[in-house]
Amino acid sequence: MTTTRFAPSPTGYIHVGNLRTALMNYLIARKAGGTFILRIDDTDPERSKEEYVDAIKQDLDWLGLHWDRVERQSARLERYAEAADRLREMGRFYEAFETPTELDLKRKKQLNMGKPPVYDRAALNLSEAEKDKLRAERGDGVWRFKLDQERIEWTDGILGDTSIDAASVSDPVLIRGDGQVLYTLASVVDDTEMGVTHVVRGSDHVTNTATQIQIIAALGGTVPSFAHHSLLTGPQGDSLSKRLGTLSLRDLRAQGVEPMALLSLMARLGSADPVELRSSMDELIEGFDISRFGAAPTKFDAADLFPLTAHHLQSLDYADVADKIADIGVPGDLGERFWLVARDNITTLHDLEGWWTLFRDGAEPVIEDEDAAFIAQAMDMLPEGPHDTDTWGAWTTAVKEATGRKGKALFMPLRKALTGQGHGPDMAQVLPLLQRIRAKE
């Protein structure tokens, strides 16, 4: 059965880059009727925070990316220890004692000599006595996985046929000196034991994938299908990594971005298919095909989310937003009318408040000097409220007859006097909503 997972580390809020990973894994699982696991990669006790676990769940919930079950790496440490023991028994795991400074020096020397900065495996030559001595001096070493130095190949769901020469990769450290199991091992054990069939993640993980394929094979697991999506860049191709903090899902949510707008964009951005606003998760699932995505960096512009949000809102019925409209204080009997007028004139739901303030309090009239007498006459002719959608037509017809004004010269000064603006929704719809007409007071 198709099983995917989204595996964030709870060390911060998730952002649009994480969302791309989450969404692709989610859509693959749902399209196949499979399982989508939320895996919390919390083997780092110092950096992992419970508040971020909660925040990740809230963000996914907000988007409707519901998981079938949650797994936590911190609850599986004995599984990782067991896998580490097996690697030791196989002779694929060795302890190394170099300090970060020593490793850095080695790397610099290699680079100076024009060689790739790959760990030289010096620790493999240590005798037991030497190891004991180093351990006594420096504490426990790190544990490295001994790669088979061959070409590692896989058919990537996005990158196509991919291969990495293991000789160009350092033997990965899987356990730190303080005993902390690192992501590479934990992830492999989980993917294998949880029956994960498809792994989609960012292209910054391509080298990890190569080493993980060997670790999975060593542990006797089945290698999942891997796909690596390109990383997001800013609109000009600039790096997004520093700005991702401001592109957290909660920031976008606070700015009024609608989930469907965000999901619709992310389900297509960087693919050969155009971005289309979808109205439901089912449509997103239906229209998703990972093989349509390309390897080139994907430009992301948060500004694109706002027209999509506006379009999405235009498609909503009153019932979809009735609660929010009640929250800003619109009386129930005006709610639906208010929504039908406002929805075509907002970018996000935050804009509703401005419209309601205008309707409730009335606008400061804008009246040009040459229109003052005309407006005074027109206001005398405007019946007392409440008004209905016929009021505007009947009133402006009467004003036209009385003053001889027509077209723009008739309508524009009236609009400005009533709303303080030269543009806006259909006045026949606006008039019944206006609770105060200051130009008439």
- State in angstroms the smallest separation of the CB of 172 from ligand GLU: 13
Q: Is 41 in the site for ligand GLU (CB under 6 A)?
A: yes
**Per the structure block, which two tokens stand in for 211?**
């080493």
- B/e letters for 313-333, b = 16+ CB within 10 Å, e = fewer, are beeeeeeebeeebeebebeee
Rounded to 5°, the CA angle 90-93-97 comes to: 150
Query: In 3D, which of 30, 38, 36, 41 has the Cα closest to residue 4?
Result: 36
Stretch touching ligand GLU by CB under 6 A, among 6-14, 117-125, 252-260, 306-314: 6-14
Chain residue at closest Cβ approach to ligand GLU: 41
Interface of this chain with ligand GLU, residues 344 to 363, rule: CB under 6 A: none
Q: C-beta of 11: minimal distance to ligand GLU in Å?
A: 9
- Min CB(240)–ligand GLU separation in Å: 15
Of residues 263 through 322, those in contact with ligand GLU by CB under 6 A are none
Residue 196 or 349: which CB sits closer to ligand GLU? 196
User: Whole-angstrom Cα distance, residue 138 to residue 133?
Assistant: 9
Q: Closest separation between CB of residue 265 and ligand GLU, Å?
A: 21
How many chain residues interact with ligand GLU (CB under 6 A)?
8
Give dist(CA 28, CA 285) in Å, integer. Answer: 8
Closer CB to ligand GLU, residue 37 or residue 379?
Answer: 37
Could you tell me which residues come within 8 angstroms of residue 89 by beta carbon, excluding any fewer than 6 positions away? none
Query: In the window 179-238, what residues touch ligand GLU (CB under 6 A)?
Result: 183, 187, 201, 205
Q: Is 8 in the site for ligand GLU (CB under 6 A)?
A: yes
Looking at the DSSP assignment, which residues form a beta bridge with residue 198? 225
* Secondary structure of residue 151 in the 3-state scheme: strand
Does residue 258 contact residue 279 with C-beta atoms inside 8 Å? no
Smallest gap from residue 76 Cβ to ligand GLU (A): 14
The rounded distance, in Å, linking the Cα atoms of 196 and 166 is 24
| 150 vs 162: CA distance, rounded Å | 14
Choose the binding region for ligand GLU from 1-9, 78-86, 245-253, 264-272 (rule: CB under 6 A).
1-9
Helix or strand or coil: residue 162? strand
| Residue 20 lies near ligand GLU (rule: CB under 6 A) | no
Alpha-carbon gap, residue 144 to 127, rounded angstroms: 16
Scanning 32-76, the segments in alpha helix (DSSP H) are 50-63
Smaller CB distance to ligand GLU: residue 41 or 98? 41
Choice from 3, 4, 9, 248 touching ligand GLU (CB under 6 A)? 9
Question: Least distance in Å: CB of 358 to ligand GLU?
Answer: 45
Q: Which residues bind ligand GLU (CB under 6 A)?
A: 7-9, 41, 183, 187, 201, 205
